[in-house]
Amino acid sequence: MSRARDWTHPETGQLHWFDVHSMATDGQLELLADVEGLDIDDLIDSNLSSREVLYRLNQFSNLIPSEVLERKRARRELSRIVPVCRLKGDDCEGRMTRHHFIPRWAMLALENYGRYSPRSYCTIPLCMHHHRYFHIRDDQDKSIASLLSDEERKLAGHLLRSLKRERPAIYELMAGGEGTYEYQLVRDFQLGHFRQRDSQSGMARSAAASEG
């Protein structure tokens, strides 16, 4: 049986093809975000397959509510002011997204999550292509510390300390996931990378060794 399935956009009439045995591509996630009027960052976190995207598009294609069209129009207006990808600057690929530098699923376990939940506090801009890179488990460097501002670095350290104190099981789970973004995050925390910039002093690393 063929792996390919097609879907026609109800607004534009454009035909799109899906390999239902593979993970969703960047373009397919952007298409689903447009059609459903969703935040692209939430779709990235969902780790959807092409089959799942196609199913949702088919469920939605009969009628697009007017409020969704309005949200799409508003997003297009906002997209004219495009932030710069922290990882690759102007040399980036795909739509700009907001990356939670402390994973949202871990932040939700904290007692005071609501205080830091606004995306303006706990995310940084990354293009879609490089955002997805951080969610892939492999042996590539996934350190985020050098991409953060001083305030973001301070917040990351605070949230990880809180996680270690309030939810030690989650902290240990992250620390044991070698090859993941979460593992590198905890490792950087243990080395003191969220206390001050590496270029200022190596003292922060040894000072934080006991903290991690």
pTM: 0.60
Do residues 105 and 152 share a domain? yes
Do residues 99 and 77 share a domain? no
Distance CA 118, CA 134 (A): 21
pLDDT for 79 equals: 57
Write the CA distances from 165 to 168, 171, 185, integer angstroms: 6, 9, 16
For the chain, how many structural domains are there in total? 2
Instruction: Dump pLDDT digits (tens) for 109-153.
Output: 998 887 877 777 889 999 888 888 888 888 888 899 999 999 899
Distance CA 163, CA 156 (A): 10
Domain boundary among 81, 100, 131: 81
Contact 155, 116 (CB under 8 A): yes
Q: In the structure encoding, which two tokens stand for residue 172, read together?
A: 């240990």
pLDDT for 71 equals: 67
What's the rounded mean pLDDT across residues 50-73? 73
* Alpha-carbon torsion, ordered 100, 102, 105, 107, to 10 deg: -120
Domain boundary among 58, 81, 104: 81
pLDDT for 202 equals: 34
| Distance of alpha carbon 182 from the chain centroid | 12
What's the rounded mean pLDDT across residues 3-24? 82
Mean pLDDT estimate for the chain: 80
What's the sign of the alpha-carbon dihedral 188, 189, 190, 195? positive
Distance CA 177, CA 169 (A): 13
Do residues 24 and 124 share a domain? no
Max mean pLDDT among 77-91, 110-124, 177-191, 198-212 falls in 177-191
What's the rounded mean pLDDT across residues 149-168? 93
Do residues 52 and 107 share a domain? no
Range(s) of the domain holding residue 25: 1-81
Write the CA distances from 85 to 50, 77, 99, 132, integer angstroms: 26, 19, 10, 13
Closest to 212 in 3D by CA, of 178, 103, 184: 184
Q: Which amino acid is present at 88?
A: K
